[in-house]
Amino acid sequence: MRPVLLQLYRLGVLFAVAWLVRAHHARLRAEGDAPVRVGEVTGWFTNAAELQLDLEARGGFRVRDRDGAELGYLIRTLPQADRIIGYCGITDTLVALDREGHVLGFKIRKSEDTKTHVGDVMDDRHFKKTWNGMTWEQVAGMDLKNAGVEGVSGATMTSMAVAEGIVHRFRVAQGEMRPPTFRVGLRDCGLVAVVVLGVWLTFTKREGRERWRRWFQWVVIGYVGFLNGDLLAQTLLAGWAKSGVAWRMAPGLVLFAAASFAVPWVARRPLYCQQLCPHGAAQEVITRLAPVRWRVNVPAALDRALRWLPGLLLLFVLSVVMLPLEFDLAGLEPFDAYIIRSAGIATIAVAIAGLLAALFVPKAYCKYACPTGALLEFVRARGTGDKFGRRDLAAGAMLLVALAMHWLHAAIHAWVFGAAA
């Protein structure tokens, strides 16, 4: 029973931390609802001086000038659209309408989604004009698929979540309570196919498996990495912990993530790290191409020290999420570098460094710097000889840190930001 109880402990720690993150951010949203200010609407209404709350069914704001004359109307998607999750979080959007009730445009106030994706959405002029000139009834009755709204390239899930949120909010204002749309697209089917092939390669012992695996690595790099761009990363997992899992918007990605955690937890096989990770596959390709004489043996003491880094990065991620700090978690890992259009400098630098290191130490990044890999390795079963170790002790300590940050948030926040000031 010991290995079974140990696996239940590991899964329990994982779910407990995720629950604390979710509860913590729900409380932060409730305590600091970020009321709309006049300065946010002057781009549409130059003479705006007052936002008057509309207590009728629409629940928006009447925009007035200094003389009390109505300039237009403003509607906010939260909290009504808080069940609509993009790539890794919910988005608060403002929509402005003129006095005749025609849409002037929208802007994103705040988003828990990836910063680069949000930036791509706001930089896309065509997408920003999607609803311009429409009436209340037209927006509320809009079918996004039939209307040809396809989202922004490189930020598809984020942009479609914004679109769903706007339409859903207008429907609520019209008295309609339809649930958010469940979307299944080609990218979801593609990810499911990749997962099936990855599971087959993980468990099969057929002759020629390694040859097939090498061909599959190019599929993973090309499709999962560069074409699809749906990779497991701390920015994704932290976003889901804060806002909920995006099973309506990205069911294929949810299944992809579920399989990546479930297979090692149940069957001891590291599915994602060995078969489905584009950066892991790219490192293996580079190692095969590099001359054997380039290989470097890492000293034992240095090896032991470097293996602490992924765990420390996980602790840093937890701190960023719980405080919360203004830090883009995508910069900690190389995975966003595969989304070339929106990749930041930090994530590109991490990706290049990891690939260069693979010339000398096989899968060096995976061993010494990957927090997502460390999380997957933590839940992996190890058979009848498994026992409680330092990794499990560190996970318990991290759970206590999360508890402290949740219950003592005000004091810790004041201490950290007071010290920073």
What are the start-end ranges of the E strands in 69-222? 70-76, 91-98, 103-111
Q: What is the band of 32 on the pLDDT scale with cuts at 50, 70, 90?
A: low
Do 159 and 225 belong together in one domain?
Answer: no
Asked whether 202 and 263 are in contact (CB, 8 A), the reply is: yes
Residues 137 and 160 in one domain: yes
pLDDT value at position 178? Answer: 63
The answer to whether residue 395 scores a pLDDT higher than 70 is: yes
Average pLDDT over residues 221-243: 90
Cβ atoms of residues 286 and 357 within 8 Å: no
Per-residue pLDDT tens over the stretch 83-107: 888 888 889 999 999 999 999 999 9
Average pLDDT over residues 207-221: 89
Confidence band for 421, pLDDT divided at 50, 70 and 90:
very low
* CA-wise closest residue to 88 among 260, 330, 280: 330
Same domain, 85 and 47: yes
Weakest mean pLDDT among 48-62, 156-170, 313-327: 48-62
The domain of 226 spans 2-26+184-420
Q: Is residue 375 part of a domain?
A: yes
Q: How far is CA 289 from the centre of its chain?
A: 33
Q: How many domains would you assign to the chain?
A: 2
Section 55-78 average pLDDT: 88
In a domain, 400, yes or no: yes
Three-state secondary-structure class, residue 416:
helix
pLDDT score of 302: 95
- Domain's final residue, options 144, 173, 202: 173
**What's the pLDDT score for residue 156?**
85
Read off the pLDDT of residues 301-360 as tens digits, 9 standing for 90 and up.
Answer: 999 999 999 999 999 999 999 988 888 898 999 998 888 777 789 999 999 999 999 999
CA 290 to chain centre: 34
Largest CA distance in the chain: 82
Cα–Cα distance measured from residue 386 to residue 320, given in angstroms and rounded to the nearest whole number = 32
User: Domain check: are 161 and 288 in the same one?
Assistant: no
Scan for tokens 């590291």, then name that residue.
270
Mean pLDDT of the chain: 89
Annotate 317-375 with DSSP letters as a single string.
Answer: HHHHHHTT-S--GGGGSSGGGGSGGG--HHHHHHHHHHHHHTTTSTTHHHHHT-HHHHH
Please give the pLDDT value at position 177.
61
Same domain, 70 and 17: no
Domain boundary among 173, 208, 224: 173
Single residue among 152, 173, 194 that ends a domain in this structure: 173
Residue 376 near residue 260 (C-beta atoms within 8 A) = yes
pLDDT band at 111; cut points 50, 70, 90: confident
Express each pLDDT in 370-394 by its tens digit: 999 999 999 999 888 888 988 999 9
What would the pLDDT profile of 113-154 be if each residue is shown by its tens digit?
A: 888 888 889 998 899 999 999 998 899 888 888 888 877 877
Are 69 and 159 part of one and the same domain?
A: yes
Picking from 360, 183, 361, 340, the residue whose alpha carbon sits closest to that of residue 351 is 340
Tokens 């318990």 sit at which residue?
A: 396
Distances, alpha carbon 24 to alpha carbons 16, 85, 171, 173, 399, in Å: 12, 17, 29, 29, 13
Task: Please state, in angstroms and rounded to a whole number, the distance separating the CA atoms of residues 295 and 147.
Answer: 55
Q: Do 320 and 220 fall into the same domain?
A: yes
Q: Are residues 85 and 115 in the same domain?
A: yes
- Is residue 393 a part of any domain in this protein? yes
Asked if 334 and 354 touch (Cβ cutoff 8 Å), the reply is yes
Same domain, 118 and 203: no
Q: Is the pLDDT of residue 408 over 50?
A: yes
The confidence score (pLDDT) of residue 246 equals 83
pLDDT in tens, 283-299: 999 999 999 999 999 99
Those residues whose C-beta lies under 8 Å from the C-beta of residue 392, and which sit 6 or more positions away, are 6, 9, 10
Residue 150 lies inside a defined structural domain of this protein = yes
pLDDT at 206 over 90: no
DSSP output for 130-172: TTTT--HHHHHT--TTTTT---BTTBHHHHHHHHHHHHHHHHH
Query: What confidence tier does 31 reach under pLDDT thresholds 50, 70, 90?
Result: low
Same domain, 197 and 324: yes
pLDDT tens-digit series, residues 259-268:
999 999 998 8
Q: Which residues of 70-96 are buried (b: 16+ CB within 10 A; e: fewer)?
A: ebbbbbbbbebbbebbbbbbbbbbbbb
- Does 63 share its domain with 151? yes
Tokens (6 digits) for 308: 């602490």
Position 116 scores a pLDDT of: 84
Residue with tokens 């630098």: 349
